[in-house]
Amino acid sequence: MTAFLIRRLFWAVVVILAAMTFTFALTFLIPADPASQVAGPQASSLEVENVRRALGLDQPVYVQYFRYVGRALQGDLGRSWIYRRPVIEAVFGRLPASLQLGVTAALIELLLGGSVGILAAVYHRRWPDRISMVITLVLLSLPGFWLAIILLYVFGYIYPILPLGGYGEWQNLILPAIAVGVPYAGWYVRMLRSSMREVMSQDYVRAARAKGMRERRVLLRHVVPNALIPIITMWGIDLGSFVGGLALVEVVFGWPGVGWQAVEAAKNLDVPLVMGSVLLVAILMTVANLGVDLSYRWLDPRVRFD
């Protein structure tokens, strides 16, 4: 177990450093001058040069990179050029809103996809299964931002029972969470249906039925826990990505999360804030993957960490 954790932590550091390097490299491929953006359209060339010097953009690329990595290892991600505040404060200030939306959307996709997937597996090749497969195809074909616009039009304009946007009340959370969680639920239906059918064909499941165990007990004790392993893997990854990667839906609903802030930072060439947002997503994804791996032992005691 200890050796496993050491290996995973090592690769977690490698992944985070790779994400930092990739994002840093992309900032120098942008066909625009961040110093000019920060200085403003009316700034003179001398003012732009002063801004470039103040931001450290006049230094060689490798100097800027190692300076950024060194500060990041100390918890300093720099200051946002647009918001004039530390990047950590800007990112973590928006994190509660993203957590609220991401966790709610992840629960919707898990509960909806899981329940329909179990129904499809139990009634394999019967009408509930066929209907669920049609629903799955529809869900998988729905882009989140498109569904968000449709939801706004139906429930915010035609039948104005829910707010069009905003943040702070539970009513504001309903439409964006549905827009994110419902399309992804289709993957869970297909994955759980396939996983349960595979587990139901195993010898130990047949033995449990031969002993006279009730079908509901067979499903709850043997089939569902073992079929959930790939589902937990998907859900953990989705949870990590939802918290930091819901930019399009957050923009549509005006949800003040990390994704919306990252979009605004990219539009204004606020490089430190963009890199800080990407770093947060990389850390969340890494932590989610580690949590998923550790949950395998709880779901299946036969799993060993070599």
Within this chain, do residues 288 and 159 fall inside the same structural domain, yes or no?
A: yes
Within this chain, do residues 55 and 186 fall inside the same structural domain, yes or no?
A: no
Under 8 Å between Cβ of 257 and 251: no
pLDDT below 50 — which residues of the chain? none
Within this chain, do residues 71 and 106 fall inside the same structural domain, yes or no?
A: no
Within this chain, do residues 54 and 134 fall inside the same structural domain, yes or no?
A: no
**Residue 265 domain-assigned?**
yes
**Residue 63 domain-assigned?**
yes
User: Among 45, 76, 107, which residue terminates a domain?
Assistant: 76
> Exposed, middle or buried: residue 109 (CB in 10 Å: 0-12, 13-18, 19+)?
buried
Spatial CB neighbours of 2, under 8 Å, sequence gap ≥ 6: none
Domain count, the chain: 2
Query: What integer pLDDT is reported at residue 305 of this predicted model?
Result: 59
Dihedral sign for Cα 224, 229, 230, 234, please.
Answer: positive
Tens digits of residue pLDDT in 215-244: 888 887 878 888 887 787 778 777 777 776
pTM (two decimals): 0.78
> Exposed, middle or buried: residue 295 (CB in 10 Å: 0-12, 13-18, 19+)?
middle
How many CB atoms within 10 Å of residue 95? 18
Within this chain, do residues 224 and 276 fall inside the same structural domain, yes or no?
A: yes
**Residue 221 domain-assigned?**
yes
Within this chain, do residues 102 and 251 fall inside the same structural domain, yes or no?
A: yes
Looking up residue 229, the CATH number of its domain turns out to be: 1.10.3720.10
- How far is residue 195's CA from residue 299's CA, in Å, rounded to a whole number? 14
Query: What integer pLDDT is reported at residue 36 of this predicted model?
Result: 76
Within this chain, do residues 188 and 217 fall inside the same structural domain, yes or no?
A: yes
- How far is residue 120's CA from residue 133's CA, in Å, rounded to a whole number? 8
Within this chain, do residues 47 and 188 fall inside the same structural domain, yes or no?
A: no
Query: What integer pLDDT is reported at residue 300 of this predicted model?
Result: 62
**The two three-digit tokens of residue 37, written as one number:** 């953006």
Within this chain, do residues 271 and 132 fall inside the same structural domain, yes or no?
A: yes
Query: What integer pLDDT is reported at residue 255 of this predicted model?
Result: 86
**Residue 69 domain-assigned?**
yes
Could you tell me the CA-to-CA distances from 296 to 127, 175, 274, 299, 301 in Å, in that order? 33, 33, 34, 5, 8
**Domain enclosing residue 40, as ranges:** 32-76
Within this chain, do residues 63 and 189 fall inside the same structural domain, yes or no?
A: no
